[in-house]
Structure 1
Amino acid sequence: MSKPLKIAALGFWHVHAGDYARQAQQHPGTELVAVWDDNPDLGQPGAEKFGVPYTDDLDALLARADVDGVTVTTSTDRHRDLIVKAANAGKHIFTEKVLAPTVTEAEEIIAAADANGVRLVVSLPRLAHGYTHAIRAVIASGDLGKLTYARVRLSHDGAVSAGGQGGWLPERFFEPKTAIGGALTDLGCHPIYLTQLFLGADPDTVSATYRSVAGLGLEDNAVVTLGYGDQKIGVVEAGFASRNPFTIEIFGTEGSLTYTEDGNVLRAFGPAFGDGRQVPVPDHGKDPFAQWVDHITEGTRADDNLARAVELTRMVVAANESAEQATVVRYAGPAGR
Structure 2
Amino acid sequence: MLRVALMSKWHVHAEGYAELLRSFSDAEITCVWDEEPERGREWAKSLNVDFEEDMDKILAREDVDGILVCSPTSMHAEIMKKAAKAGKHIFTEKAMALTKKECEEITAEVKKAGVKFGISHPARTTSSNLYVKSVIDAGLIGKVTLLRIRNGHDGALNNWLPEYWYDESKAGGGAMMDLGCHPMYLASWILGKPVRISSMFSYVTNRTVEDNSVCTIEFENNAVAIVETSLVTYKTPSMVEVYGTEGTIVICDNDIRMTSKKMDEEFKGWVTPAKLPEALPHSLRQWVDGVLYNKPILFDTEAGTKLTELLEAAYIAHKEKREVSFN
**CA distance in structure 2 between the partners assigned to 1:286 and 1:62 by the alignment:** 27
What are the superposed Cα offsets for residues 220-256 of structure 1, whole Å, 9 maximum, x if unpaired?
A: 1010001234432100011111131111000001110
What are the superposed Cα offsets for residues 284-331 of structure 1, whole Å, 9 maximum, x if unpaired?
A: 211111111111123467476321211111000000000001111112
2:164 corresponds to which letter in structure 1? R
Identify if the C-alpha distance between structure 1 residues 6 and 228 changes in structure 2 by more than 3 Å, giving closer, same or farther. closer
Choose the corresponding residue for 1:291, options 268, 286, 292.
Answer: 286
Using the aligned pairs only, state the percent identity.
35
Are the counterparts in 2 of residues 151 and 236 from structure 1 also a CA contact under 8 Å? yes
What are the superposed Cα offsets for residues 156-199 of structure 1, whole Å, 9 maximum, x if unpaired?
A: 111011xxxxx111111111111111110111010001011112
What are the superposed Cα offsets for residues 118-155 of structure 1, whole Å, 9 maximum, x if unpaired?
A: 11111111111111211111112212011100001111
Are the counterparts in 1 of residues 157 and 232 from structure 2 also a CA contact under 8 Å? yes
Choose the corresponding residue for 1:203, options 194, 202, 226.
Answer: 194
Within-5 A mapping of 1:129-168: 129-161=126-158, 167-168=159-160
**CA distance in structure 2 between the partners assigned to 1:65 and 1:71 by the alignment:** 16
1:215 equivalent in alignment to 2:209: no
Instruction: Say which is worse superposed, 129-138 or 218-227, in terms of deviation.
Output: 129-138
Given the two structures, how large is their TM-score scaled by the length of structure 1?
Answer: 0.91
**CA distance in structure 2 between the partners assigned to 1:305 and 1:99 by the alignment:** 10
**CA distance in structure 1 between the partners assigned to 2:322 and 2:210 by the alignment:** 17
Are the counterparts in 2 of residues 113 and 120 from structure 1 also a CA contact under 8 Å? yes
2:312 corresponds to which letter in structure 1? V
Identify if the C-alpha distance between structure 1 residues 265 and 281 changes in structure 2 by more than 3 Å, giving closer, same or farther. farther
Are the counterparts in 1 of residues 194 and 219 from structure 2 also a CA contact under 8 Å? yes
Within-5 A mapping of 1:1-337: 4-161=1-158, 167-200=159-192, 202-242=193-233, 243-261=235-253, 264-271=254-261, 272=263, 273-279=267-273, 280-299=275-294, 302=297, 305-332=300-327
**CA distance in structure 2 between the partners assigned to 1:210 and 1:300 by the alignment:** 40
Are the counterparts in 2 of residues 129 and 284 from structure 1 also a CA contact under 8 Å? yes
2:2 corresponds to which letter in structure 1? L
Unpaired runs of at least 5, structure 1: 162-166, 333-337
2:255 corresponds to which letter in structure 1? V
Are the counterparts in 2 of residues 265 and 281 from structure 1 also a CA contact under 8 Å? no
2:247 corresponds to which letter in structure 1? G
Are the counterparts in 1 of residues 34 and 53 from structure 2 also a CA contact under 8 Å? yes
Are the counterparts in 1 of residues 286 and 295 from structure 2 also a CA contact under 8 Å? no
Identify if the C-alpha distance between structure 1 residues 218 and 204 changes in structure 2 by more than 3 Å, giving closer, same or farther. same
SS, match of residue 209 in structure 2: coil
**CA distance in structure 2 between the partners assigned to 1:293 and 1:229 by the alignment:** 34
Instruction: Say which is worse superposed, 213-222 or 300-309, in terms of deviation.
Output: 300-309
1:323 corresponds to which letter in structure 2? H
**CA distance in structure 2 between the partners assigned to 1:300 and 1:106 by the alignment:** 23
**CA distance in structure 2 between the partners assigned to 1:118 and 1:32 by the alignment:** 18
Q: Size of the alignment, in residue pairs?
A: 321
**CA distance in structure 2 between the partners assigned to 1:29 and 1:269 by the alignment:** 44
In the TM superposition, residue 104 of structure 1 has moved relative to its aligned partner by: 0.9
Matched residue, 1:335? none
Are the counterparts in 2 of residues 223 and 235 from structure 1 also a CA contact under 8 Å? yes
Are the counterparts in 2 of residues 266 and 281 from structure 1 also a CA contact under 8 Å? no
